[in-house]
Amino acid sequence: MKAKLMKSNLILLFGLTLAGSCLSYADRPNILFIFTDDQSHRTVSAYEDARPWITTPHIDQLAEQGIRFKHAFAGPWCAPSRAMVLTGRYLHGIEGLDFTDYPNIRQTEQFRMWPEVFRENGYTTAIIGKWHLASDYRHGQVWDHSIIWERLGGEKPGNYYRNQKLRFDGGDYTPVGGHSTDNYTRYARNFIKRKHEKPWMLWLCYDAVHAPFTPADRHNGAYNGAGPIPVPKDIYPPRPTKPHYMQDYAMFYPGPDGVPVDERQKLPLPELVQKYNSGVFSIDE
């Protein structure tokens, strides 16, 4: 993420403290909370155990100028990790999200999320990017401004990275071209550049680097030949004990050629690792 996007804003990655309500609007910091999907710390070169061929100069700059956590943990998988961070609850305490009709999720109990606290204390709240926590993301109640991809089943929301259908401020699904990481960054920059009468907080949630691993075209092959990448003995399927949806979910995502993702990504593990890490480039930019 380029430094010019961060200038004069408080960048918040893993924790936050709300400014006291006694402060004037002018004294309160703007807050940009960047959240990625299924990204290992080993994809960031600022960490000592990152793969030696990884390079993330802009994220490294944030780490150098800020605080880098080495012993902070969250649920490692997709929706549960976002639910943990937004509600402040451990995984075992989030009982209101019903996954029985996955990938659709029903929210059977409303949880209080920290953006609500900011909104109640005079902040303009915004969400840009991936949602996929419940069918009702509460635009106008939690979020004053929203551009979201909902990650529902079938063709309704389009694909993870291309040909998405987004909802703008609670409206109908709108087809959008381009790569999702680039789109979300552009929307975020436009929001930040607006003239704001109140302090703002923005939850910017990328789809990257969640499977199917699809870097922007300019980054395809960026790590080709990188290695060594050892292959664990038990990495390949079949996995008959796993839930049915985990074996079939890739069928929701036909590629540009119409071939389902699970067929296109029957690749050797080293090549998958290279594609996975290549998806971080767009985030780092």
Tens-place pLDDT, residues 76-114: 678 778 888 888 877 776 665 655 555 555 554 567 788
What count of other Cβ atoms lies within 10 Å of the Cβ of residue 86? 22
For 258, phi then psi, to 5°, come to 85, -5
Q: Residue range 176-187: average pLDDT?
A: 96
Q: For the chain, give the mean pLDDT.
A: 78
pTM of the complete model beyond 0.95: no
User: How far is it, in rounded angstroms, from Cα 217 to Cα 162?
Assistant: 11
User: How far is it, in rounded angstroms, from Cα 126 to Cα 169?
Assistant: 10
Higher confidence at residue 28 or residue 203? 203
pLDDT of residue 229: 82
User: How far is it, in rounded angstroms, from Cα 111 to Cα 134?
Assistant: 11
Higher confidence at residue 42 or residue 156? 42
Question: CB of 142 within 8 A of CB of 131?
Answer: no
- Confidence bin at 38 (pLDDT 50/70/90): confident
Tens-place pLDDT, residues 212-223: 889 999 999 999
Higher confidence at residue 99 or residue 165? 165
Lowest mean pLDDT among 19-23, 116-120, 122-126, 222-226: 19-23
- Confidence bin at 17 (pLDDT 50/70/90): very low
Question: CB of 80 within 8 A of CB of 93?
Answer: no
Pick the closest to residue 178 from 159, 150, 192 (CA basis). 159
Pick the closest to residue 157 from 253, 82, 77 (CA basis). 253
Helix segments in 28-141, DSSP class H: 57-65, 78-87, 114-120
pLDDT of residue 280 exceeding 90 = yes
Tens-place pLDDT, residues 132-158: 776 666 777 889 999 999 866 555 556
pLDDT of residue 282: 95
User: Looking at the DSSP assignment, which residues form a beta bridge with residue 143?
Assistant: 139
Q: Are strands 164-168 and 145-149 parallel, antiparallel or unpaired?
A: antiparallel
Helices H / strands E in the chain, number of each: 9, 9
Question: CB of 37 within 8 A of CB of 98?
Answer: no
Question: CB of 142 within 8 A of CB of 119?
Answer: yes
What count of other Cβ atoms lies within 10 Å of the Cβ of residue 26? 6
User: Looking at the DSSP assignment, which residues form a beta bridge with residue 205?
Assistant: 35, 129
What count of other Cβ atoms lies within 10 Å of the Cβ of residue 29? 16
Tens-place pLDDT, residues 49-75: 899 999 999 999 999 999 888 777 666
Question: CB of 181 within 8 A of CB of 208?
Answer: yes
pLDDT of residue 170 exceeding 80 = yes
Percent with pLDDT over 90 in the chain: 38
pLDDT of residue 202: 97
pLDDT of residue 272 exceeding 90 = no
Higher confidence at residue 3 or residue 182? 182
* Fold adopted by 3-284: Alkaline Phosphatase, subunit A (3.40.720)
pLDDT of residue 15: 37
User: How far is it, in rounded angstroms, from Cα 125 to Cα 117?
Assistant: 10
